[in-house]
Amino acid sequence: MIRKSLSNLVSSKRPAESLEKMGSRPLMMPFISGECDSCGECVGICPTRAISLSDGWTIDLGKCIFCMDCIDSCPGSSISKVPAPLYALIREDLIFSGSKPPKESEGTVDADKVKALGSSMAIRELDTGSCNACEVEVNCMSNPYYDMGRFGIKIVASPRHADMLLVTGPMTNNMSRAALETFDATPSPKAVVAMGTCAISGGIFAEGDVLGKGIKDTMAVDLFIPGCPPPPERFCWRY
C-alpha cells in the first residue's frame, strides 16, 4: 500500500532524461576562433599553463580551470567559448589545437569491465587532496533533481564494496599511500575516474607538494572528466 501510494516517487519509475530535457547548459571552454598573432598574452595570464604557442595555439583542457581570463586578455578577441567534451578515455584526448578542435569522445570504458559491472555502479569517492569543490558536486549527484540512484549509481563507504573509484584532487604526497591502499582494496575489475582538473593534471596545485601531474602517475585511469569542478550533469546523464 505504501509503495503504491508513492509509486510516482520511486526512482525506478523515473525515466532517464537527456541533458537537453534536464535543462542543462554545456560546460564552456576557451578555444581559438580567429587569427592568432602569437602575442602570448593568453599564455602569460593562464594560471595553470594550459595554453601553449610552441606548436601553434594549443589548449590542454585537463589543465584548464575555466576562469576564461585568456578570453579577456586576448587583444585580438581571437579566443571564444565553445562547448567542452564530456569526457576522454585517454589523457591526450583533452589536448586541442587549431587542427584538432574539441569534440565528444567516442566509446566507453573497457568492454570487459562494463560487462562485469552490470547495470549498477557502486562508487567510492576518493579525495586525494582537493579543495572540496568537487565533493560538493558529488553530493549534489544524489539530490532529488539529479537522483543518480535512478541509474543504479550509489556511493558506498568502503572501497571493498566499490566498482569504481571516483578520484578528486591532485595526488598529494601525504595521500598517495592511502590512495594506493584504497586502489588495492577495490576488487577487480574496477574503473578509476579522474574527476576535475586537479585529478587530471594537478591543476593549480601541480607545483605544490604533489606526486606527479594528476592521479594517472599513481594509478591507471579509465576515464577523465574535465571541469573545475565538473557539474553533476556531467555524470547523471543519458542520451
The answer to the question of residue 194 being in a domain is yes
Range with lowest mean pLDDT among 24-33, 126-135, 161-170, 220-229:
24-33
- In this predicted structure, the answer to whether residue 107 has a pLDDT above a threshold of 60 is yes
- Out of 63, 97, 131, pick the residue that ends a domain: 97
Model pLDDT, residue 17 = 59
Question: Of the ranges 3-12, 86-95, 169-178, 229-238, which one carries the lowest mean pLDDT score?
Answer: 3-12
202 and 168 part of one domain: yes
My answer on whether 32 and 80 are in the same domain is yes
**Do residues 122 and 159 lie in contact, with contact meaning Cβ atoms separated by under 8 Å?**
no
Give the pLDDT score at 60. 98
Residue 62: which domain range? 28-97
Do 88 and 151 belong together in one domain? no
Pair (119, 178) in one structural domain: yes
pLDDT > 90 fraction of the chain, expressed in percent and rounded = 67
For residues 196 and 134, is the Cβ–Cβ distance under 8 A?
A: yes
**Domain for residue 170, yes or no?**
yes
Same domain, 130 and 208: yes
Shared-domain flag, residues 186 and 216: yes
Model's pTM, two decimal places?
Answer: 0.87
Are residue 140 and residue 229 in the same domain, yes or no?
yes
The burial of 58, by beta-carbon neighbours within 10 Å (0-12 exposed, 13-18 middle, 19 or more buried), is given as: middle
Tell me how many degrees the CA angle 21-25-27 measures, rounded to the nearest 5. Answer: 135
SS3 59: strand
Boundary-marking domain end, from 67, 97, 127: 97
The domain boundary, picked from 97, 123, 143, lies at: 97
For residues 196 and 225, give the distance between their C-alpha atoms in angstroms, rounded to a whole number: 6
Nearest to 71 by CA among 103, 31, 35: 31
Query: Which residues, 6 or more positions from 196, have their beta carbon under 8 angstroms from its beta carbon?
Result: 130, 133, 134, 168, 169, 203, 225, 226, 227, 228, 229, 230
Residues 85 and 115 in one domain: no
The reply to whether 58 and 144 lie within a common domain is no
Nearest to 188 by CA among 142, 222, 223, 235: 222
Same domain, 87 and 139: no
Segment holding 183, helix H or strand E: helix 173-185
Could you tell me if 86 and 130 lie in one domain?
Answer: no
The answer to whether residue 105 is domain-embedded is no
Q: Give the model confidence (pLDDT) of 55-97 as tens digits.
A: 899 999 999 999 999 999 999 999 999 999 999 999 999 999 9
Residue-wise DSSP of 118-177: TT-EEEEEEESS--SHHHHHHHHTTSTTT-GGGGTEEE-S-GGG-SEEEEES--BHHHHH
CATH number, domain containing residue 69 = 3.30.70.3270
The cell numbers describing 143, all together, are 539530490
User: What is the domain count for the chain?
Assistant: 2
Determine the pLDDT at residue 111: 75
